[in-house]
Amino acid sequence: GEDVEQSLFLSVREGDSSVINCTYTDSSSTYLYWYKQEPGAGLQLLTYIFSNMDMKQDQRLTVLLNKKDKHLSLRIADTQTGDSAIYFCAERTSGSARQLTFGSGTQLTVLP
């Protein structure tokens, strides 16, 4: 079955890099996503990676995918206080269905 796991908490100092990790179990995952959720808000799509890629960079965000180990990470460079939020990784398996399976979310706290 599908299962996505993340560590619950991460604290970093402003200006440092943050690395949020995620593992998944479904080897048929085609796309893997990172979403951000601020208090009282919905989910904001940050970036995604296709399963045949191993890295994707988008401004301050770098996604690394190790398909062999089913490990996904999101690196945020020069982390700012505005980056404090919950970050969810999610997977989508092959087929036409748009079902996403989410991890439990990582609460990122950026300390001044």
Partner 1 sequence: KAGVTQTPRYLIKTRGQQVTLSCSPISGHRSVSWYQQTPGQGLQFLFEYFSETQRNKGNFPGRFSGRQFSNSRSEMNVSTLELGDSALYLCASSSTGTDNTEAFFGQGTRLTVV
Binding positions for partner 1, rule: CB under 8 A: 31, 33, 35, 41-45, 48, 50, 88, 90, 92, 95-105
Please tell me the distance from the alpha carbon of residue 57 to that of residue 62, in angstroms, as a whole number. Answer: 4
Measured from the CB atom, the residue of 79 and 89 that comes closer to partner 1 is 89
Contact by Cβ (8 Å): 107, 88: no
Measured from the CB atom, the residue of 17 and 104 that comes closer to partner 1 is 104
Please tell me the distance from the alpha carbon of residue 69 to that of residue 50, in angstroms, as a whole number. Answer: 16
- For the CB of residue 90, give the shortest distance to partner 1 in the complex, in Å: 8
Closest residue by Cα to residue 90 from 47, 40, 42, 41: 47
- For the CB of residue 2, give the shortest distance to partner 1 in the complex, in Å: 10
Q: Give me the residues paired with residue 109 across strands.
A: 11
- For the CB of residue 13, give the shortest distance to partner 1 in the complex, in Å: 28
Measured from the CB atom, the residue of 84 and 103 that comes closer to partner 1 is 103
Both structure tokens of 85? 């939020």
Measured from the CB atom, the residue of 70 and 103 that comes closer to partner 1 is 103
- For the CB of residue 87, give the shortest distance to partner 1 in the complex, in Å: 12
Please tell me the distance from the alpha carbon of residue 75 to that of residue 66, in angstroms, as a whole number. Answer: 14
